[in-house]
Amino acid sequence: MSADPSARRPGRVLLAPMDGVADVVLRAVLTRLGGFDLAVTEFVRVTSSLLPPRTFLRTAPELEHASCTPSGTPVRVQLLGGDASCLAENAARLAELGPAGIDLNFGCPAPTVNRHDGGAVLLNDPERLFRIADTVRRAMPAAVPLSAKMRLGVEAPTRALECAQALAAGGIDALVVHARTRDEGYRPPAHWALLAPIGAALSIPVVANGEVWSVEDYHRCRAASGLADVMIGRGAVSDPFLARRIGEARLSSDASEPLSPPVAERLRAAEWQRLLPSLAEFWAGVQTRVQARAAPGRLKQWLKALSVRYDEAGALLAVLRPVTSVAATADVLRAHGVPVRPVADSPFAAAS
């Protein structure tokens, strides 16, 4: 029996914002497969101007559908920038579109983003984090939730708690902490235990994030961090049924025994067959969102991630690698059992 207090709370599973990966199409596919309580969009870059509504709608078409994915998962819209006043003005405009919430990005490690005064580099100045959160919160209706996502720091985690407390004092309603510094990027391990003091010190919900690739990782993350809520990113892209399996594990009071290799392989093979309609949905949706020449690349991107768990995805990717046209891609998909659907049948076709 675990002494971890988070193990007695059901917690939530959130889909992480992943720029260039988890767009509206993949959000729809992953949340339809089940297990997610909330999703956060890719970031909307805020610099020095008040953005038009169409900019927010382009990143988050869910805003036209009660800020939910087609399966009903609420979607928060993420803003990235360093100008408190400009962020506040844009948050106020975004709030008029009825988002399920607004999220502030203090976690992006990308050098280009950091050089332009955005993302994780802002963690060098906790006072500035407070000013941004406070200014944005004051500009928004009280009924619209404001959350933030941060890392443990830039070079070292020494000011992680100070940063988290500054954001909480600024009025955010929830905080996601990626358990690595900016300079660590996505290199394992994630330092889940370093999240425990943050969760203990803050009165708002704190969500653990980083390096959750399996149900076992999920349980270890919760035990080490003491946090009930977990955000999953790359693990969900590579294993689209992970959130559902986590949900099933949360409903069970008994610790599940590890599956034998033959049983695990049969489960994985069955999952791949169940995933084929989702591949078809993704392929149809992508064609409504990007130019034809870019659509095969987006499919290959997801297949590369899927190949971490599914050998079949790697085999399909190998065949598709030299293919560049939409028509030829569709032919290969059909030959591999993917029930390719007309683009007109995609729920994204009407909005494109």
Planar angle of CA 99, 105, 109, nearest 5 degrees: 145
| Predicted pLDDT of residue 261 | 86
Classify residue 350: in a domain, yes or no. no
Total domains present in the chain: 2
Is 161 in the same domain as 222? yes
Classify residue 351: in a domain, yes or no. no
Classify residue 256: in a domain, yes or no. no
Tell me which residue range forms the domain holding 308.
261-345
| Predicted pLDDT of residue 2 | 39
Classify residue 139: in a domain, yes or no. yes
Annotated binding site for FMN: 78, 149, 209-211, 233-234
Q: Model-level pTM?
A: 0.94
**CATH code: domain of residue 83:** 3.20.20.70
By the 10 Å C-beta count (0-12 exposed, 13-18 middle, 19+ buried), 273 is classed as: exposed
Is 52 in the same domain as 173? yes
Is 150 in the same domain as 267? no
Which residue from 224, 244, 193 is spatially nearest to 2, judged by alpha carbons?
224
Classify residue 211: in a domain, yes or no. yes
Active site residue 221: no
Is 87 in the same domain as 193? yes
| Predicted pLDDT of residue 7 | 47
Is 240 in the same domain as 321? no
Spot the catalytic one: 86, 108, 163, 221. 108
Classify residue 163: in a domain, yes or no. yes
Domain boundary among 222, 251, 280: 251
pLDDT tens sequence for the chain (352 residues): 334 444 445 799 999 999 999 999 999 999 999 999 999 999 999 999 999 999 999 999 999 999 999 999 999 999 999 999 999 999 999 999 999 999 999 999 999 999 999 999 999 999 999 999 999 999 999 999 999 999 999 999 999 999 999 999 999 999 999 999 999 999 999 999 999 999 999 999 999 999 999 999 999 999 999 999 999 999 999 999 999 999 988 766 545 567 788 888 898 899 999 999 999 999 999 999 999 999 999 999 999 999 999 999 999 999 999 999 999 999 999 999 999 989 988 888 766 5
